[in-house]
Chains A and B, each alone.
Chain A
């Protein structure tokens, strides 16, 4: 049955997250961007919300309340506060979800409980590579099987919290397949760079990983002997990005509404001029579109269906439109859109940044 009805619990989560974003995220977003760091107490406070452990099955210490729709709603709300801080709040999600979905029993038992403790603990997906036209589903990084081990070589960039992640889930070509390998941060041959210098979402610490013949036991291949379906990892990640971009788009529009109503030009508020009003209508129309695409992809992930197509639609549409919306946010504010006293230029940089993650426009 086609239904857009949230459960009562999902509505409560949405409202609570909206309030959290207004109180804990929006006020610190600019400072995080300027300082290129996120305060430790933000990380600790969000960890206490249990957003990550909620998704982990009870037998490994979590709450066992996993729902891709709920996650999408949480990410939209947090993303409407700030994209970088939203990602930080859910930092280990990509790793955790990959283990829950495709890990062996031993991998689940070994890695999941660490994410259910009181203290922030993170591990990251290493999917992006620093060369032009990098396609996460077709990495250059390679894994060679050597007796009971895999030897990994390659370079990964935009790895979240490389400075503190305990493990990395590295996507690498394994013969004719692509697999994911769990690499501990202290593995020999792994070099973690200084924090990368990025244009947008500067608060987030991201690092480049250099893997020079890094050896991991065969048991570290996600899914064990069976390997895994890398597309499922990327599908979930694309839905998450689309959800955050929906929040970002909404945030730009919600900021522009009161501005346009107050800003007077030629004796009337610019909101009464069709050139502005129509553009803002389009910003709303596109935001609606990306939200429903995100929900559809999330519901397919949740129901265990093949979500690759839906996730691709959601991410590509959101990427294209979020960039357009942020760009127009700057334009509607005019000169104010260009100065750092207002947040719109920060959102513009963030939009350009998030919309190239995991593939350019139509992936």
Chain B
């Protein structure tokens, strides 16, 4: 049955996330202005907070699926702040997802306790990873890695990395393989943390590999062959995007939601009433515009929840995860920028968080595949085209 109601258990979990987010928000400005000072693994309030929080019951079959709730919790956390957490989860980075998806049982066993970042992007290639220039050359029983990686999420905190490198440049995408490299390996340097427009408290690093030697068994999945069909090697990575794309959409939407709440509060304070039953011609332009942004948020959130719901049902969601990512990517830009337009000069003041939210959520339409990449994927789906047909 089609239903959009949250159960009591769903609500209890989200209420806790909201309470956590409110505390995290207090630290948001500090870590934005002090980019080098990462948020701690645990806030000083944590012990007291969890002591006083009511127990959240374990979800049952009547409750929303774990995937749907994961998106709602992610949005709820981001409503507080993109990076600050009451207690940082001990889960890994994107590299851990790749390990789980493509590692051999021995590799999973050996590396799973480490936080693994994922290094794909290079100064000369982003959306088109087939242009990866980092090389891995076999020398005896070792791979020798050379190249430069940027925008590596959790790059500082990570204890190891899954890196994309080509073992045969002439083979294009087919020559690209993933390798596991531990921090501290000679030739693996972390020269700097990136300086960014937004999500400044987030750990984003650059990596440099200079004749970095790793054991032959560190090739993720251990498959050294170069497949003839060019898409085979990519499939594992692309599949993880079906989950990470709805989540990044949810991150951005949480920030957009915070912006809408802030704007609503200040519109009301200014005496603007928002009436959902009347027509926009009869109310101030600010109220009409605000409702339009709210509807856009809601459409985007529902599209994201649909992609998650499909995953929870075990149904394919390749197209839907691109749809929600593309939708949210544009929506959060319009919403946060539109809220500032409604608020006027107060919107750009660093006394408030909304200018930060506008900067923070700008990444939504860029990482995990830009809006343009998502639209290519969607169009290929609509036209029943391959990558070669439309690029």
Contacts and interface: CB of A to CB of B under 8 A. Distances in A.
Interface of A: 1-7, 10, 69, 132-135, 137-138, 231, 234, 253, 257, 260-261, 271-272, 274, 277-278, 280-282, 284-286, 288-290, 292-293, 295-296, 298-300, 303, 308-310, 312-314, 316-317, 320, 358-363
Given A133-B281, A282-B375, A289-B327, A316 B292 contact: yes
A133 B282 contact: yes
A183 to B, nearest CB: 23
A300 B303 CA distance: 18
Contacts of B383: 257, 260-261, 271, 277
A231 B277 contact: yes
Interface string B300-330: 1011011001100100000010010011000
B298 A293 contact: yes
Interface of B is mostly: helix
B281 A313 contact: no
A317 B295 contact: yes
Contacts of B4: 2, 295-296, 299-300
25 contacts: A2-B3, A2-B64, A3-B2, A4-B305, A7-B1, A135-B278, A138-B278, A260-B383, A277-B375, A278-B375, A280-B382, A288-B320, A290-B299, A292-B302, A293-B298, A299-B3, A300-B4, A309-B276, A312-B276, A313-B291, A313-B299, A320-B292, A359-B278, A363-B278, A363-B279
B208 interface: no
Interface string B154-182: 00000000000000000000000000000
A329 B215 CA distance: 56
A3 B292 CA distance: 25
**Residue among B3, B376, B385 with the most chain A CB within 10 A?**
B3
A360 B390 contact: no
A278 B372 contact: yes
Interface residues on B, range: 35 or more
B375 A362 contact: no
Contacts of A290: 299
B124 to A, nearest CB: 21
A293 B306 contact: no
B299 A1 contact: no
Contacts of B382: 253, 257, 280-281, 284
Contacts of A363: 277-280
**Residue among B68, B291, B310 with the most chain A CB within 10 A?**
B291
Given A288-B320, A288-B323, A292-B299, 20 more contacts: A1-B63, A2-B4, A2-B65, A4-B309, A6-B2, A135-B278, A272-B390, A288-B306, A292-B306, A296-B298, A299-B3, A303-B5, A309-B276, A312-B277, A313-B298, A313-B299, A316-B295, A362-B280, A362-B289, A363-B279
